[in-house]
C-alpha cells in the first residue's frame, strides 16, 4: 500500500491529477503502479494467491471515489518515505535496472519537487529547505544528485543517471 501510494502521490501530480482514484485511473500512472507491485511481490515471501488478493483489494480501495485521498497530502515527507520504501527494494533487486517501478517512484519525487519549487510552491518535508535549494539547480545531473543525496544516495550511484532518464518518461498533462 505505502509504496504504491507514494508512487501515485508523485507520478499522479506530475501527470496532472489530484486524487488517488484519478491517479489509479490514469493509464500511464497505473502501469507504473503495476510495475512497482510486480517488483514488490518478488521480494515478499507470501503465496501468489495472497498477494493477488492483496493487490486486488488495494486497487479497489484506490479506485473508490468515496475514499479519494488528495495526492498532495500523501506526497508530504518524501525524504523520509523513499529511503524506507523505494531504496531498499532497489538494493534488494540488485540495482536500478532491475527495479524500474521503484526507480519511477524516485524519479516522480525528483520531478515533483522540482516542479513544485520552480512554480513557487512549498514542499511539505522535514528537508524542505535543502530540497528547494537542490530542485532549483539548472543542471539535471547536479539537481538529481543533490536531491538523491538528501536520501543518502551517493552522487556516483548509478541511480542518478537512471532517475534522470526516467524523469523524461514520466507522464505529463
As a whole number of angstroms, the distance between CA 22 and CA 24 comes to 6
Torsion-angle region of 95 (φ positive above 0: left; ψ -120 to 50: alpha; else: beta): left
Please report, for the chain, the start and end positions of each structural domain, with discontinuous segments joined by +.
2-169
The rounded distance, in Å, linking the Cα atoms of 136 and 88 is 27
Percent of the chain with pLDDT over 90: 87
pLDDT of residue 12: 98
Q: Which CATH architecture has domain 2-169?
A: Orthogonal Bundle (1.10)
pLDDT tens for 95-124 read 999 999 999 999 999 999 999 999 999 999
User: pLDDT band at residue 37, thresholds of 50, 70 and 90?
Assistant: very high
DSSP string, the chain: -HHHHHHHHHHHHHTT--BHHHHHHSHHHHHHHHHHHHHHHHH--S-HHHHHHHHHHHHHHHH-GGG--BHHHHTTTHHHHHHHHTHHHHHHTTSGGG-HHHHHHHHHHHHHHHHHHHTT----STTHHHHHHHHT-SSHHHHHHHHHHTTT--TTSTHHHHHHHHHHHS---
**Overall average pLDDT of the 139-147 stretch:** 97
User: Is the per-residue pLDDT at 165 higher than 70?
Assistant: yes
How much is the pTM? 0.94
Q: What is the mean pLDDT of the chain?
A: 95
Check pLDDT > 60 for residue 1. no
Amino acid at each position: 500500500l505505502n509504496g504504491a501510494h507514494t508512487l501515485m502521490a508523485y507520478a499522479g501530480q506530475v501527470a496532472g491529477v489530484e486524487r488517488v482514484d484519478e491517479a489509479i485511473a490514469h493509464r500511464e500512472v497505473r502501469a507504473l503502479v503495476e510495475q512497482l507491485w510486480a517488483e514488490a511481490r518478488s521480494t515478499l515471501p507470501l503465496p501468489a494467491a495472497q498477494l493477488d488478493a492483496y493487490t486486488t483489494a488495494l486497487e479497489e480501495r484506490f479506485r473508490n471515489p468515496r475514499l479519494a485521498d488528495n495526492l498532495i497530502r500523501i506526497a508530504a515527507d518524501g525524504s523520509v518515505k523513499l529511503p524506507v520504501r523505494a531504496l531498499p527494494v532497489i538494493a534488494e533487486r540488485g540495482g536500478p535496472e532491475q527495479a524500474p517501478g521503484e526507480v519511477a517512484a524516485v524519479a516522480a519525487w525528483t520531478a515533483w519537487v522540482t516542479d513544485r519549487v520552480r512554480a513557487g510552491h512549498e514542499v511539505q518535508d522535514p528537508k524542505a529547505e535543502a530540497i528547494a535549494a537542490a530542485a532549483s539547480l539548472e543542471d539535471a545531473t547536479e539537481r538529481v544528485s543533490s536531491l538523491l543525496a538528501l536520501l543518502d544516495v551517493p552522487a556516483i550511484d548509478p541511480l542518478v543517471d537512471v532517475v534522470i532518464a526516467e524523469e523524461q518518461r514520466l507522464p505529463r498533462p
